[in-house]
Amino acid sequence: MAQHGIESVLVAGRGPAACAVITACSRLGVKAVAVYSDAERSARHVRLADDAVLLGPAPAAESYLAVDRIVEAARRSGAGAVLPVPPALAGNAALAAEVAAAGLTWVGPPAEVLERLGGDGVEPASEHGLLALVTDEGLRYPTTVSRDRAAGIARVSWTPEPPGEMPVGAKRLAEVGWRGLVTVGVDADGELGEVAAGFSLDMAVLERAHRVDAVDLALAAAAGERAPRRRTVEEHPPRAAVAVQLRSTLPPGQAGRVSGRLPSAGRLRGTAGQTEVVAVSGYDPGDRLDPWYDALLATVSAGAADTATAARAAGAALTDLPETGVPHDGPEVCAVLQRLADGDPEPGA
């Protein structure tokens, strides 16, 4: 059954984020079409999808980031919509405009809004931020986040306690026409910094905190629904949440091969359903880690009654990993989670 009038989507992206989106499409009964380059013909996101289309050579500029190739792939696949995964694509105003010109549904903010507020392809990594779904009525599921950064990348995100203040400018996002998911960086003065579309690491925090499906929300917004059908805050109050990235530490440009299982246990629930852990891997044992692309191996997110409990749950999914075949930053990430579990509200970046 089509969700929100959308029967099939071209999922423009790769790695764990694309795997998560494709898996969500399957849950929703929406056909997912993956895209891939010559280097990733048998990648995990391709194996998970209902169909897949070759984009081109391995370099991202000639495949995953090529606007004309993505639009042509959507046409050839028969997909009715294009769902961009990384901010580099979700914030691309030229891609949004070409998708609309082709008569397809763009799952994200309109091209003209991206021209003014997005389009730089930067995933916010400032120490504080905001997540939300932006609708005609304003912000839905607003969630403040704190972040621990490594080399300019937000490797751990969590809901602060007490919750951070909403940036004054956040309400203007709806007024200027932004629709769909948004990840915002907040500067030291409490003003909006980076504004990004797409499925950032932080989106898993919003999902765990509010018990929602970000893909479902994004499709609803793209279909122009006034308000996705959800339980009320009284029925499901927000909870604390944590999300982490597990990244390979191979030197840039060096290939590897995953030999052990990464955190990918799917959706796990703790006692009485009070703690939820979701792990998504971009690789299975035997998969090649190609030097052309981002070294993100897996993501783990957890929702619980408090941040410390969520951090312990996420850390448990990363502790004592088997030999993976490639070096990774698991110990460093677990150290951040341990500080959160010990009650440190702001682990050092």
Mean per-residue pLDDT for 310-325?
90
Rounded to a whole number of angstroms, the CA Rg of the chain reads 19
Q: Give the per-residue pLDDT at 271.
A: 44
pLDDT of residue 272: 46
Residue type at position 197: A
pLDDT tens across 112-151, in order? 999 988 655 678 888 899 999 999 989 999 999 999 987 6
With a cut of 90, say whether residue 250 has pLDDT above it. yes
pLDDT band at 348 (very low <50, low <70, confident <90, very high): low
Q: Computed from CA positions of residues 92, 96, 102, 107, in that sequence, does the dihedral angle turn out positive or negative? A: positive
* Residue 146: both structure tokens together: 């704190």
Question: Across all residues in the chain, what is the average pLDDT?
Answer: 89
Structure tokens at 296: 């993100």
Residue 314 has pLDDT above 80, yes or no: yes
How far is 280 from 314, CA to CA, in rounded Å?
Answer: 12
Going by pLDDT thresholds of 50, 70 and 90, the confidence category of residue 162 is confident
pLDDT surpasses 70 at 313? yes
Contact criterion met (CB below 8 Å) for 146 and 127: yes
Instruction: Please tell me the least confidently modeled range out of 40-44, 94-98, 145-149, 255-259.
Output: 145-149
Mean pLDDT is lowest, of 118-122, 221-225, 285-289, for 118-122
Q: Which two tokens stand for residue 316?
A: 């448990």
> What confidence category does residue 273 fall into, taking pLDDT thresholds of 50, 70 and 90?
low
In order, the DSSP letters of 278-345 are: EEEES--TT-EE-TTS--EEEEEEEEESSHHHHHHHHHHHHTTPPP-SS-BSHHHHHHHHHHHHTT-S
- State the pLDDT at residue 345: 66
In 3D space, the residue among 242, 259, 222 whose CA is nearest the CA of residue 341 turns out to be 242
What is the tens place of the pLDDT at every residue in 82-91? 999 999 999 9
Please check the confidence at residue 202 and state whether its pLDDT lies above 50. Answer: yes
The DSSP call for residue 163 is P
Q: Which of 228, 168, 20, 195 is nearest to 93 (CA)?
A: 195
Supply the pLDDT for residue 329: 92
d(CA 99, CA 203): 24
d(CA 164, CA 152): 22
Crossing angle between the packed helical segments 307-318 and 330-341, to the nearest 10 degrees: 150
Q: Spell out the domains of the chain, with CATH numbers in brackets.
A: 8-117 (3.40.50.20), 128-341 (3.30.470.20)
- Cα(274)–Cα(222) distance, rounded to whole angstroms? 31
Query: What does the pLDDT average to over 38-43?
Result: 94
CA–CA distance, 111 with 91 (Å, rounded to integer): 9
- Provide the pLDDT for residue 149: 81
